[in-house]
Amino acid sequence: MRPSDNGAPYDEYFARLNREMREHGPMRPVMLIDLDRLDHNVDVVMRSVRRTGKHLRLVEKSLPSPQLLDYIARRAGTRRMMSFHQPFLNHDAERFTDADLLLGKPLPVRSAQEFYANHRGAFDPSAQLQWLLDTPERLQQYLELARALNTRLRINIELDVGLHRGGVADHATLGQMLALIGANPQHLEFAGFMGYDPFVGMGVPGILGSPEELFAKVMKLYDGFVDYARTQHAPLWKPGLTLNTAGSPSYRMHENERTSTEVSVGSALVKPTHYDLPSLMDHQSAAFIATPVLKSTGAVRMPALDEKSALFSWWDPNLRETFFVYGGNWMAEPESPRGLQFNGLYGRSSNQEMINGSHAVGLGVDDQVFLRPTQSESIFLQFGDLLAVREGRIVEHWPVYT
């Protein structure tokens, strides 16, 4: 049976974006952020967070534009952010002078040293920054840095609650770290725990357990670490500790527990394709790559095959139109017009990507192909300024982190 012709012109939403990009866009690949959809996603998250009285921490790597972060933070009413990259951390400390910053991964101590060497401004790291650490050895390195700088570092301890990507996995190791912090109060301060658990909402095979069963295991581990620290190192346990957990796929499950004080969310707010998950059904896609068609060359033709290439378009109606777009080879999937597909036989190109479709897609030169990124954290950095759109109109240009 031959493949069906499933192409279609733009729907109303993308037709409006296409008109806007043709009339006012830069006619190069850009990343669009739909503010109406972004607002919806922020509001969905905040309804969940408010039901539990927890705080929201925004994941900077998934929203890597200062203005995008600030826009979301203001709508959500939070100044808590999670940073993953030393140069970005310095930008955050300079721009968000009132923020509470938590590292999202343990950095080499040299990276921390670079942060302090380049830090300027009113942001006070001794009160507003938490370094995430995972081993007694790394903690010892940070202690030596604190002594050299004659400062005090706030230490948040990474817990392995089932992801098995490092972090403290037993009470003995945790005890070593807490004892070292307790013995050096002039240079180290215990700030809390971070336990990342996205896998409970990612749809693992059922044989490994239901989301509810996996979540129960996560919280048993998390609660065990909390109880150990509270009882065995009571002098370090103070009000206001940061008990961070969750991730975009799992944040809503934390409505069912009262141990953590905050959840981390980033990608769910823009919903790239890797986050098309049952746990995020209420979220809307809010980020799209738009790139213009440079050439429309008819039925697909393969190098060296020439007229024999007609066999491909005879077999598959979705190979009867060929478009070469500006740029390409992104971690992204065609979204509009429907029915477009990459040509795996011709190969991918970062310069002029071939995309095929049926006669029904109706694309002409200078029309836009819209794609959904598979993730946000690295792809957002590839296009220069993000273009914020509202009701199909470009309203802001937002630089990304560099």
Predicted local confidence at residue 204, as pLDDT: 61
Please, what is the end-to-end C-alpha distance for the chain in angstroms? 50
Contact 162, 197 (CB under 8 A): yes
Does one domain contain both 295 and 238?
no
Q: How far is CA 124 from CA 14, 91, 93, 129, in A?
A: 45, 14, 8, 8
User: Does residue 6 fall inside a structural domain?
Assistant: no
Last residue of a domain, one of 242, 271, 300: 271
User: Does residue 2 fall inside a structural domain?
Assistant: no
pLDDT tens digits for 217-275?
Answer: 999 999 999 999 999 999 999 999 999 999 999 999 999 899 999 999 999 999 999 99
Range of the domain at 354: 12-32+284-398
Report the amino acid identity of residue 357: G
User: Does residue 277 fall inside a structural domain?
Assistant: no
Does one domain contain both 239 and 262?
yes
Does one domain contain both 228 and 176?
yes
pTM: 0.92
Predicted local confidence at residue 196, as pLDDT: 93
Among the residue ranges 82-86, 213-217, 307-311, the one predicted with the least confidence is 307-311
Does one domain contain both 256 and 337?
no
Does one domain contain both 336 and 260?
no
Q: Token digits for 394?
A: 């470009």
Quote the crossing angle between the two packed helices 35-52 and 66-76, to the nearest 10°.
Answer: 50
Does one domain contain both 196 and 292?
no
Contact 231, 282 (CB under 8 A): no
Q: Band the pLDDT of 9: cuts 50, 70, 90.
A: confident
User: Does residue 54 fall inside a structural domain?
Assistant: yes
Does one domain contain both 295 and 191?
no
Does one domain contain both 18 and 50?
no
Give the closest residue to 83 by CA, choosing from 122, 57, 54.
57
Average pLDDT, whole number, for the chain?
A: 92
Does one domain contain both 153 and 230?
yes
Does one domain contain both 172 and 235?
yes
Residue 307 confidence (pLDDT) above 90: no
Please give the share of the chain, as a percent, with pLDDT higher than 90: 82
User: Does residue 76 fall inside a structural domain?
Assistant: yes
The larger pLDDT score, comparing residue 346 to residue 138, is at: 138
Does one domain contain both 26 and 50?
no
Neighbours of 355 (CB within 10 A): 22
Domain with residue 369: its CATH number is: 2.40.37.20
User: Does residue 278 fall inside a structural domain?
Assistant: no
Domain with residue 157: its CATH number is: 3.20.20.10
Which residues are bridge partners to 154 per DSSP?
A: 130, 189
Predicted local confidence at residue 3, as pLDDT: 44
Residue 215 confidence (pLDDT) above 80: yes
**Cis ω before 106 (30° cut-off from 0):** no
Predicted local confidence at residue 384, as pLDDT: 97
Q: Band the pLDDT of 298: cuts 50, 70, 90.
A: confident
Last residue of a domain, one of 231, 247, 271: 271
Last residue of a domain, one of 271, 297, 325: 271
Q: Band the pLDDT of 18: cuts 50, 70, 90.
A: very high
pLDDT tens digits for 333-381?
Answer: 999 999 898 986 767 899 999 998 888 888 999 999 999 999 999 999 9
Q: How far is CA 245 from CA 64, 242, 271, 291, 335, in A?
A: 21, 9, 19, 37, 32
Q: Band the pLDDT of 311: cuts 50, 70, 90.
A: very low
Domains contained in the chain, number: 2
Longest CA span, the chain:
80
DSSP-assigned letter for residue 168: B
Residue 312 confidence (pLDDT) above 60: no
As a dihedral over the C-alpha atoms of residue 293, residue 297, residue 300, residue 302, rounded to 10 degrees, the angle is: -100
Predicted local confidence at residue 293, as pLDDT: 97
| Secondary structure (DSSP) of 281-349 | TT----EEEEEEEEEEEES---TTTGGGGHHHHHH-GGGSEEEEEEB---SEEEEESTT-EE-TTT---
Does one domain contain both 20 and 80?
no
10 Å CB burial of residue 244 (0-12, 13-18, 19+) is: buried
Mean predicted confidence (pLDDT) in 105-111 = 98
User: Does residue 105 fall inside a structural domain?
Assistant: yes
User: Does residue 207 fall inside a structural domain?
Assistant: yes
